Structure 1
Amino acid sequence: MKFWWLLFAVSLILPNYCNAVVKRHDIPPKKYLVDNAPAFLIDMPHEGHGVLIAPQWIITVAHVIFYDYKGKSIKIGGESYKIESVTKHPDYIEPDESLFKGDATRLMAFFASRSDIALIKLSSPVSGIAPVKIYQEDNEVGQIVTVFGRGATGNGLIGEDLSTKPLRKMHSFNNKIDGAKGSWLTYKFDSPPNSLPLEGIHGSGDSGGPSVIFLEGEPYLAGLSSWQYWQGDLSTFKGGLYGATAYQVRLSVYKDWILSVLAS
Structure 2
Amino acid sequence: MNLISKLILGGLITASLHANAMIIRHDVSDGKYIQQAADYPAIFPLKDDGKTKNCVGTLLTPQWAITAAHCTILLEPDSQLEIAGNKAKVHSIHLPPEYGYMKAIKNEQGKIIDIEDKVKDASFDIALLRLSHPLKGVQTFPLLEQKVNVNQTIEVMGWGDFGNGLEGVSRKERVNDRQLRVAHNKIDAINGNYLIFNFDAPDSKNALPLEGINGPGDSGSPALIKLPNGYFVAGISSGGDYPGVQTHKREGKYGWQEYYININAMTAWIAETMALSITKN
TM-score class normalised by the smaller sequence: 0.7 to 0.9
- Structure 1: which amino acid aligns with 2:125? D
Structure 1 residue 215: deviation in Å?
1.2
In the aligned structure 2, how far is the partner of 1:217 from the partner of 1:49? 23
1:43 lines up with 2:45 in the alignment? yes
* Counterpart Cα distance in 2 of 1:134 and 1:3: 26
Structure 1 residues 34 and 186, CA gap change in structure 2 (3 angstroms): same
Please give the root-mean-square deviation of Cα atoms over the aligned residues, in Å.
2.7
Q: Are 1:127 and 2:136 an aligned pair?
A: yes
In structure 1, the partner of 2:70 is: 63
Does residue 1:86 correspond to 2:84, yes or no? no
Pick the structure with more strand per residue.
Answer: 2
Aligned to 1:44, the other structure's residue is in SS state: strand
Is contact 2:153–2:184 with CA below 8 Å preserved after alignment? yes
- The answer for unaligned runs of 5 or more in structure 1 is 96-109
- Relative to structure 1, the CA distance from residue 7 to residue 237 in structure 2 (aligned partners, 3 Å threshold; closer, same or farther) is farther
SS of corresponding position for 1:160? coil
1:81-120 pair list within 5 angstroms: 81-94=88-101, 113-120=122-129
Q: TM-score, normalised by structure 2?
A: 0.78
User: Offset at 1:257?
Assistant: 0.5
Structural mapping, 1:24-35, within 5 Å: 24-35=25-36
Distance 1:2 1:246, change over 3 A: closer
How many equivalent pairs are there?
244
Inter-partner Cα distance in structure 2 for 1:243 and 1:111: 28
Aligned residue number for residue 200 of structure 2:
190
Match in the other structure for 2:228: 216
* Among candidates 195, 207, 232, match of residue 245 of structure 2: 232
**Deviation per CA, 1:126-164, whole angstroms, max 9, x where unpaired?**
111122121122232111001111153111111024343
Residue matched to 2:161: 152
Question: What TM-score do the two structures reach when normalised by structure 1?
Answer: 0.83
Shift of 1:255: 0.7
Whole-Å separation in 2 of the counterparts to 1:121 and 1:165: 33
Amino acid at match of 1:259: A
Segments of structure 2 that go 5 or more residues without pairing to the other structure are: 49-53, 103-118, 277-281
Identical-residue share of aligned pairs (%)? 31
Structure with bigger RCO (C-alpha 8 Å, 6+ apart): 1
